[in-house]
Structure 1
Amino acid sequence: MKTNTLINYLLVMATGAAVIACSTKANTAESTPGGISKLPVDVRVVAAMPLTQEEVVAGSVLPNREVTIVSEVSRKIVAIHFNDGSHVTKDQLLYKLDDADILARLKQTGAELNLAKLSESRLAELLKNESVRQEEYDVAFSKLQSLQATEDLLKVDLSKTIIHAPFSGYIGITKLQIGALAGAGTPLVTLQESGNVKIQFSIPEKYASSVKPGKQITFITSLSDQKQYAKISAIEPGVDPLSRNITVQAVAGNMNGSLKPGMSAKIFYSISNAGELGMALPTESLIPGANGYSVFVIKQGLARLTPVSIWNRNEAEAIISSGLNNGDTVMVSNILRTGEGTPVQVVSTK
């Protein structure tokens, strides 16, 4: 009796072990009608999406145009025709320098010039009748030309005593007052163009292809977190050999004058091109190799190793820019147990 009980107990244990073994095997691999095991895997069906990644860099606000007004001649300032820090218009008179001696020399030269014209005209008539020699007329004509040149030079000197604004904008604080001697080349005041400002910033060389003239960027300043817009106007042709950066300039509107040259700015610019598409995958689906990365794409129930190009990645996710087609089914689990052509069974889609 005890022997039969022991035999029945052993049979029950063997049957249970067989059931557990079969259940475990079913969880790890599923057999096809032909007896070929399929590897259970999780997948992701990729979908193309626009690439809109932004980078953030620091920059500066610069005047669109800025000049330092200087005197071309060494003369005393006799009048200032603007208020410090005010808005001036193009060709507006800014400074008047002393011109008394130039006017006196112009008057003297004018009198001599009139006499020289009369003399040249008289000798020209006499030369027609051969009453004077050619040499006498030539001397009178040469003197007339010399006096005309002297008058022209004096007029040029006179024009340098009047200093105008070369363009419209905001003028700074004058450095010299009425009565001071303005030496040749002495800075008098700074003029900055109004209406527009430049936003200057630098980007890493690897993003050189993402910035082009005419492309729009956004920026904020310390005055407000509200984003403002600027359009790229110029790009430095070369890369700085020390920083490996490229300098970029953009132009922004400043009609209200709130943007002051010298202010700091935070610039946001897209490093993707218009119409460029990518596909997101978890980083665990990537397989590193000697020539880059690959993934397993499921085609007709088999795993196919497919090279891909990574546009950008972080710890959790990678953006694929090429190598995959919209709607491809990519394995995201059991990667280490898979080889080229391995039969697989999709368990879940992530």
Structure 2
Amino acid sequence: MKNTNRRDMGWVLAACLLFFALPSCKDQKETKEPSPASSRPSGPRVTAVEGFIVQPSSLQEIINATGNLIAYEAVEIRPERSGKLVMLDFSEASFVKQGTLLGRIDTEALEAEKNMRQVELDLATKEVERGKELLAVQGISTEELDRLENRVEAIKAQQKVIDVQLEKSEIRAPFSGVLGLRTISQGAYITPNDIIVELEQINPIKLEFDVPERYLTQVRAGQELSFTIVGADDTFTAKVYAIGTGISPETRTFKVRATAQNSRNILKPGQFAKVTLVTGVNNEAMLIPTDAVIPVLDGKQVYVARNDRAIATFVQTEERQATEVQVTEGLQLGDTILVTGLMAISDGAPIQITNIIETSK
């Protein structure tokens, strides 16, 4: 009887274990069979972007440069002979006309010598007149009369030398212009090595600046330009009159000079100038949005859309405006470049262009 009860309890226990084991097996079978959705490969993510079609645009070809203003004419006023400066008559930083007497060196010794030579000339002239009378009566020879006449010519030559020295004693302005600050005082003994004052002609005034050699064929005499200076709100104009004949091997630039009117004397020699020179109009310029250009280690690049993928392309740029930049190499007219979503893509990434934007031409 006792064995029968134990056998019944065993069957009950086995039935309970089987009841709980069947759902577990079903769960294991369900987890081993993947769903159709989970078995499909995910693939790279497609990025939505906006594009821009490269088209020909009209662009002024502009050369931006920096330069300096220089005097149209400039000279250091020095005496032509040594002596005591007995007169100095000008105001510093004043305008003077050509030929204005600025100073004079002592001429007392020269005047005395000139007077002495005049006395000698008078005596020599009288001797010549008497010699002619004597020659008429054969009182002297022809050779003796020639000697007397040569003496007269020699004295006249000495007088001319004195006159030249007297002329050099006067210090005059060689051209009209503005005087600088004097460095000599009246009463000083000066020599031709001493600078009395500087004189500059600043109306018109010259502008000199350097231009990269690639623009050599685009710059011509007669072209007009504009420039600005520090401390003035005005924009000034000038005209190119001379172009340097050589290229600097260090900077690969050439020099250009222009002249500007300066009737108000606002422009001063030595001032720094920012120059803008328009050399022409390019009607086939490739202008793209500045946001499309990405600075990289080796230069600049843009993403070009090809076969629904972003292709990284290196470009060369030049003229830059507020919202556009000119591309000179790397792109072709008709290319579609990407302008948005650039941070989310890389070279070869799949893309979908959702919009084509336009920029002002």
TM-score in terms of structure 1 length: 0.68
Q: Does 1:124 align with 2:147?
A: no
Q: Distance in 2 between matches of 1:165 and 1:236?
A: 30
Report the count of equivalent residues.
269
Deviations 1:221-263 (A, max 9, x none): 0122331101111111001111111111111111111111111
Deviations 1:4-30 (A, max 9, x none): xxxxxxxxxxxxxxxxxxxxxxxxxxx
Question: How far 1:332 sits from its partner (Å)?
Answer: 3.7
Q: Secondary structure at the match of 1:144?
A: helix
Q: Match for 2:117 among 90, 105, 109?
A: 109
Deviations 1:99-124 (A, max 9, x none): 00000000000111111122123323
Q: Distance in 1 between matches of 2:334 and 2:242?
A: 43
Q: Which residue does 1:7 correspond to in 2?
A: none
Q: Match for 2:247 among 202, 223, 239?
A: 239
Question: For the Cα contact (< 8 Å) 2:318–2:326, is it kept in 1?
Answer: yes
Question: How far 1:349 sits from its partner (Å)?
Answer: 10
Q: Which residue does 1:278 correspond to in 2?
A: 284
The 1:88–1:134 alpha-carbon spacing in structure 2 relative to 1, beyond 3 Å, is: same
Q: Secondary structure at the match of 1:194?
A: strand
Write the mapping of 1:196-345 to structure 2, written as runs, cut at 5 A: 196-270=204-278, 272-273=279-280, 277-280=283-286, 318=326, 330=334, 332=336
The 1:141–1:81 alpha-carbon spacing in structure 2 relative to 1, beyond 3 Å, is: same
What's the % identity of the aligned pairs?
Answer: 26
Question: How far 1:129 sits from its partner (Å)?
Answer: 4.4
Q: Which residue does 2:3 correspond to in 1?
A: none
Q: Distance in 2 between matches of 1:92 and 1:133?
A: 53
- Once the two structures are overlaid, the 10-residue window that deviates more, 245-254 or 224-233, is 224-233
Question: How far 1:281 sits from its partner (Å)?
Answer: 6.0
Q: Secondary structure at the match of 1:239?
A: coil
The 1:316–1:168 alpha-carbon spacing in structure 2 relative to 1, beyond 3 Å, is: closer
The 1:211–1:130 alpha-carbon spacing in structure 2 relative to 1, beyond 3 Å, is: same
Give unpaired runs (5+ residues) of structure 1: 1-41, 285-309, 334-346
Q: Match for 1:52 among 39, 42, 60?
A: 60
Q: Secondary structure at the match of 2:261?
A: strand
Question: How far 1:282 sits from its partner (Å)?
Answer: 5.3
Q: Which residue does 1:195 correspond to in 2?
A: 203
Q: Distance in 2 between matches of 1:118 and 1:348?
A: 109
Question: How far 1:158 sits from its partner (Å)?
Answer: 0.5
Question: How far 1:279 sits from its partner (Å)?
Answer: 4.1
The 1:244–1:134 alpha-carbon spacing in structure 2 relative to 1, beyond 3 Å, is: same
Q: Distance in 1 between matches of 2:227 and 2:260?
A: 10
Question: For the Cα contact (< 8 Å) 1:282–1:332, is it kept in 2?
Answer: no
Question: How far 1:185 sits from its partner (Å)?
Answer: 2.6
Q: Which residue does 2:179 correspond to in 1?
A: 171
Larger Rg: 2
TM-score in terms of structure 2 length: 0.66
Q: Which residue does 1:298 correspond to in 2?
A: none
Question: How far 1:94 sits from its partner (Å)?
Answer: 0.3
Q: Distance in 2 between matches of 1:217 and 1:87?
A: 28
Letter in 1 for 2:228: I
Q: Distance in 1 between matches of 2:249 and 2:328?
A: 31
Letter in 2 for 1:150: Q
The 1:203–1:137 alpha-carbon spacing in structure 2 relative to 1, beyond 3 Å, is: same
Q: CA RMSD in A?
A: 3.3
Q: Distance in 2 between matches of 1:61 and 1:138?
A: 62
Question: For the Cα contact (< 8 Å) 1:73–1:185, is it kept in 2?
Answer: no
Q: Distance in 2 between matches of 1:82 and 1:281?
A: 59
Q: Secondary structure at the match of 1:268?
A: strand
Q: Which residue does 1:153 correspond to in 2?
A: 161
Q: Distance in 2 between matches of 1:84 and 1:92?
A: 14
